[in-house]
Amino acid sequence: MKALLARLKPDLYLTLIVFMVVLASIAPARGEAAVLLQWATRIAIGFVFFFHGARLASEEVRRGLTHWRLHLLVLASTFALFPLLGLALAAAPAWLTPPALAPGVILLCCLPSTVQSSIAFTSIARGDVAAAVAAATASNILGVLITPLLVGLTLHAYGGALTWTSIQAVVLQLLVPFIAGQALRRWIGGWVKARAKVLSWTDRGSILLVVYSAFSAAVVGGLWDKVSAADLARLLALCCLLLGLVLTATTIAARTLGFNKADEIAIVFCGSKKSLASGVPMASVLFPAAMVGPLLLPLMLFHQIQLMVCAVMAQAYAKRRDTPAQSG
């Protein structure tokens, strides 16, 4: 019970992100400071994706890709079901989906899955951890390419069309550092692994910098004049609805297609997550600075909700008694 309650409460990282939003609302960066901050965030984004590339084990991906039916289902949920639901919710009446936050809902639905939490919850629930490692890793690798394409297709009406400039930004700020990290992993992988805790906070510090920069530009542009407390309450309900629909769909699909319980767990946890670590820098690359703040609000809420709900689900899965057919 103590472990469950610990997982239900907001973690320190999310608290710091909220603090950066509050700080940007009170003291946003302006003028030359804002320009310097934008350059700093671009450099930070490069480091984030470089370390992503250096951390992800290619061997795990190759070993897990043999379970192709599971991976196709996870990818279908991440990059097909989610975007379709996002478009449907964004087109809902204003009393359900606040118009100012609709683009952020669509962006949320275009993002790749998480890696760490997907694997952690699969492990707690006694699922197929190797398959979860491969599925979540493949989602993040493919997301560097697929997410900008989905954003270009779904968000062109909101200024998110995939232009040559945005393609260059994706390649230079996301793809090149990621490939460089993968290429150098043979030599620096051990060094990165040995300093995982320090580098994880370097990663998180970069995300905090991006959040402050994005919300500074949004606040200067009048963010809180466009978004009310009632809008945030509706967004909270919307994120709960979205997560509930995806969790239900992935569970039904896994059982209908005959996956065993361990595979079902990997599918449900990998197919229902959205990555805050990838989403924040991607948004700052793909959209003008003043748009990024409102775009991140749905992702921030969804991120905490998915952790709370999946913590409860993982504990429930862990208490089951497997039959031989279920355990595989």
Is 165 part of any domain?
yes
Q: Using a pLDDT cut of 90, give the percent of the chain over it.
A: 28
Is 324 part of any domain?
no
- Rounded CA-CA distance 65/277 in Å is 24
Is 104 part of any domain?
yes
Number of folded domains that form the chain: 1
What residue type is 94 in one-letter code?
A
Average pLDDT, the chain: 83
- Rounded CA-CA distance 98/105 in Å is 10
The answer to whether 130 touches 63, Cβ cutoff 8 Å, is yes
H-helix or E-strand spanning residue 135: helix 129-154
The larger pLDDT score, comparing residue 193 to residue 122, is at: 122
Is 97 part of any domain?
yes
Confidence of residue 1 (pLDDT cuts 50, 70, 90): low
CA distances from 75 to 24, 54, 139, 181, 206 (A): 35, 22, 7, 23, 27
Residue 111 in tokens: 């993002």
Nearest to 135 by CA among 271, 262, 249: 271
pLDDT for the residue numbered 114: 87
Is 328 part of any domain?
no
Is 249 part of any domain?
yes
Residue 207 exposure: Cα atoms within 13 Å on the Cβ side: 25
pLDDT for the residue numbered 325: 47
Structure confidence by residue, pLDDT tens digits, 13-26: 667 888 888 898 89
Is 78 part of any domain?
yes
Say if residue 173's pLDDT is above 60.
Answer: yes
Structure confidence by residue, pLDDT tens digits, 114-168: 887 888 889 889 898 888 888 888 888 888 889 988 988 888 666 555 566 666 7
The alpha carbon of residue 233 and the mean position of all alpha carbons in its chain are separated, in whole angstroms, by: 21
Confidence of residue 6 (pLDDT cuts 50, 70, 90): low
Is 192 part of any domain?
yes
What CATH number has the domain bearing residue 228? Answer: 1.20.1530.20
The mean per-residue pLDDT over the stretch 203-213 comes to 80
- The boundaries of the domain holding residue 17 are 2-318
Confidence of residue 261 (pLDDT cuts 50, 70, 90): very high
Confidence of residue 229 (pLDDT cuts 50, 70, 90): confident
